[in-house]
Chains A and B, each alone.
Chain A
């Protein structure tokens, strides 16, 4: 029971927490996954085709299933960002991407002259929606399938100074800590009559946040000081080099995976640059134009 409670505090409630598993994606070296994430980000950002972006998003969903993350869990984790993006899309289409270009107006909302819906605005807001959702979902898949330990030790393996890697490690360990501490402090404020319900004006909201931050900061700094002393007490930073018992290896699977994703990446880039003898996927934008 206690064990489960700890897990609940440490991982289940945190979007980017690691979930142990045996999927192919779990078995990959964190660096392979990081390279994949970087290439995916590049492709997502350079493509103009909404069709390609939606295909990438579909591919990411498949990848989530492959890495043992159910659609239900993934949707639960991204629903916050989807709601935000939805508002973004609605808000964006009311703005003019290229001022004074009246021919791009699709129609007027409710037949009102001051509410024109423009094709480019629709295109850009949908593009932003797909990009953010793709990057957010792929990051979730990466963090959910990569243990912090493997990630940090693989960073050490590629010669990133171990002091930075361990700082990062301690930071990761402190996330649930900070969350828990901030919650307790908020409860302590409420217990003495100062909750969100009582913060009725901006000054009160500022006071509430300031007090909460101050107490959390004092507590975390104190804990952080103890942690750093404990590390130094065990001779951390004494030598430039340190032994690493944990060895995160590159396996055959990683080589195959990296080769595949590089081939895919280069192909997509060449295709985007029109350097492949393939007919172009019609962009959603062009579909829009043909319809309207």
Chain B
């Protein structure tokens, strides 16, 4: 319906982007294939348009802002579309002024694109479409590449525009993290793996009547609603929990009795803080009745000799002392005096805004960069003194873009790339290789890995490093662009690997996942030094602004009040 805001959710490969392309004309005019049926835009078949004239009606903002920016300043970028449409300069200027005032970026119009934050870049792309007055605007996972600060910045601006209804706009947002966008949406459509609709309706109706079904749909449901839905099931409370407003739940908590507060506390702890559902993997010797081939493959590769060493947690595996890093030739400091100790079997979450040096720290720990000053020790031995080739075998590195670590033309060769380079090819048994291939899904081992889906490529990356059994696994933003099912599979796999004694360091903006699954959090600040470095529970107590902690603190306060 005109003027509505619709969320399109579903797993990767379910066809969300394909639908967007079909509405926008990329299909059939720019992407060939077999198409049946028709798409009607305001009653008119898309076959009656050509690509550029349809672009005037339907705009499409994609995930990564850097790939969409063409010019050099915010103003040039926003005016780009109108200049192409040959509008008079005066009209272009007045439209730009209007949009920028509405979005609150009038004062930074002349700022170079290179100097913008991720959120400002994406907002610039958004404005460059809005200024053309499209009837429909599709946002294809617009916050996927943004850090938390940039994400909030963009969403707040977007929400204010949608709520003010200053522009008569139909908005379609493709996003599987529903909590981010649910409060501005009127309708929700969820696709399944086969590319058909598994759920559709108004947001209110779906949350009220079909919430349990929504949870099964491979999307991330808002944790607040999820927690209180469980609470409702356990206590048979009569209230409807559809709001995403914190204050609503705060007010509600104040009305709960001691027993109800305790139930709620348990639910929050098990859902958001402790990875209860993964406890089943703690004892790997017990028979696991799961269709999880990966777990079975671990059982068959597990060696007792390694486990004895692994569970000796007293040993410090990696240690950095006053680690500092300057970008070569520029003299700009990326990391400053980082001193930390990482024990064998640690599971560390690395957080911080974009540009705080998370990736640089991971590169240094993987010996891919050399420190400008300070030192890194691996098992009390200076990393500099260890043969880099030997050390590379002990570290598995997952890069942000899954395609950046694919080099071969078949899945099998890709998995065997590491062992071949390390000269340990003969140690990889056929049976284990098959298990690693099956981790990716039902795929032909000779298939070209570049043709896999985004989620499958990420699983392939994991297979490619597990094959040489590294002691340390470093992951740089592994969840970007991944659907809920892949994210869960990755985190589950990492949890099991950690239980097997692997040391894992994962950098991510998804603090919900890190809070739940990691043992410790290291937070870097914009200056590239350590902001916080603590066990998970201590980190929680210091960062009470994090959603679940905020609620838990409030519940604790109420419980204590009750006791006194």
Query: A7, A12, A227: which contacts B70 (Cβ < 8 A)?
Result: A227
Does the CB pair A243–B115 fall under 8 Å?
no
| A residues near B132, Cβ cutoff 8 Å | 234-235
| B residues near A166, Cβ cutoff 8 Å | 70
| A residues near B465, Cβ cutoff 8 Å | 192
Stretch of A108-116, A214-222, A275-283 that contacts chain B: A214-222
Does the CB pair B403–A219 fall under 8 Å?
yes
Q: Contact flags (1/0) for B375-388 with A, using CB distance below 8 Å?
A: 00000000000001
A173 in the interface, Cβ–Cβ < 8 Å? Answer: yes
| B residues near A2, Cβ cutoff 8 Å | 117, 353-355, 526
Does the CB pair A245–B83 fall under 8 Å?
yes
Stretch of A25-33, A57-65, A99-107, A193-201 that contacts chain B: A193-201
Does the CB pair B114–A12 fall under 8 Å?
no
B15 in the interface, Cβ–Cβ < 8 Å? Answer: no
Q: Contact flags (1/0) for B107-133 with A, using CB distance below 8 Å?
A: 000000011010000000100110010
Does the CB pair B86–A242 fall under 8 Å?
yes
Stretch of A41-49, A85-93, A122-130, A179-187 that contacts chain B: A179-187
For residue B536, give the distance in angstroms from its CB to the closest CB of chain A: 27
Given the interface pairs A5-B332, A6-B115, the reply to whether A230 lies near B67 with Cβ below 8 Å is yes
Alpha-carbon gap, A234 to B330, bound state (A): 36
Does the CB pair A5–B355 fall under 8 Å?
yes
For residue B133, give the distance in angstroms from its CB to the closest CB of chain A: 12
| B residues near A8, Cβ cutoff 8 Å | 327, 330, 332
For residue B190, give the distance in angstroms from its CB to the closest CB of chain A: 25
Does the CB pair B421–A198 fall under 8 Å?
yes
Given the interface pairs A12-B330, A192-B392, the reply to whether A215 lies near B55 with Cβ below 8 Å is no
Q: Contact flags (1/0) for A1-23 with B, using CB distance below 8 Å?
A: 11111111110110000000000
Alpha-carbon gap, A194 to B417, bound state (A): 9
B395 in the interface, Cβ–Cβ < 8 Å? Answer: yes
Does the CB pair B64–A1 fall under 8 Å?
no
Alpha-carbon gap, A9 to B389, bound state (A): 28
| A residues near B328, Cβ cutoff 8 Å | 13
Alpha-carbon gap, A222 to B55, bound state (A): 21
| B residues near A243, Cβ cutoff 8 Å | 82-83, 86-89, 92
Residue among A148, A166, A189, A232 with max Cβ neighbours from chain B (10 Å): A232
A94 in the interface, Cβ–Cβ < 8 Å? Answer: no
A202 in the interface, Cβ–Cβ < 8 Å? Answer: no
Residue among A147, A184, A222 with max Cβ neighbours from chain B (10 Å): A184
Closest residue of chain A to B80 (Cβ to Cβ) is A234
A83 in the interface, Cβ–Cβ < 8 Å? Answer: no
Does the CB pair A219–B393 fall under 8 Å?
no
| A residues near B399, Cβ cutoff 8 Å | 184, 187-188
| B residues near A244, Cβ cutoff 8 Å | 83
Stretch of B71-79, B97-105, B194-202, B207-215 that contacts chain A: B71-79
Does the CB pair A239–B85 fall under 8 Å?
yes
Alpha-carbon gap, A10 to B329, bound state (A): 12
Given the interface pairs A193-B389, A233-B24, the reply to whether A12 lies near B86 with Cβ below 8 Å is no
Alpha-carbon gap, A191 to B76, bound state (A): 40
Alpha-carbon gap, A108 to B87, bound state (A): 73
Closest residue of chain A to B96 (Cβ to Cβ) is A245
| A residues near B170, Cβ cutoff 8 Å | none
Does the CB pair A215–B407 fall under 8 Å?
yes
Closest residue of chain B to A226 (Cβ to Cβ) is B67
Does the CB pair B69–A173 fall under 8 Å?
yes
| A residues near B389, Cβ cutoff 8 Å | 193, 197-198
For residue A183, give the distance in angstroms from its CB to the closest CB of chain B: 10
For residue B425, give the distance in angstroms from its CB to the closest CB of chain A: 11
Query: B70, B72, B396, B406: which contacts A230 (Cβ < 8 A)?
Result: B70
| A residues near B84, Cβ cutoff 8 Å | 234-239, 242
Known pairs A219-B404, A230-B68 / 7 extra A-B pairs, C-beta < 8 Å: A5-B327, A184-B399, A185-B404, A190-B392, A191-B397, A195-B388, A238-B52
Q: Which 8 A-B pairs have the closest CB atoms?
A: A193-B421, A2-B355, A234-B81, A8-B330, A230-B68, A211-B407, A188-B405, A191-B397
Chain A interface residues (CB < 8 Å from chain B): 1-10, 12-13, 147-149, 166, 169-170, 173, 177, 181, 184-185, 187-195, 197-198, 211, 214-215, 218-219, 222-223, 226-227, 229-239, 241-246
13 pairs, A vs B, C-beta closer than 8 Å: A5-B355, A166-B70, A169-B71, A190-B388, A191-B366, A192-B397, A193-B393, A193-B418, A211-B408, A231-B80, A232-B55, A233-B24, A243-B83
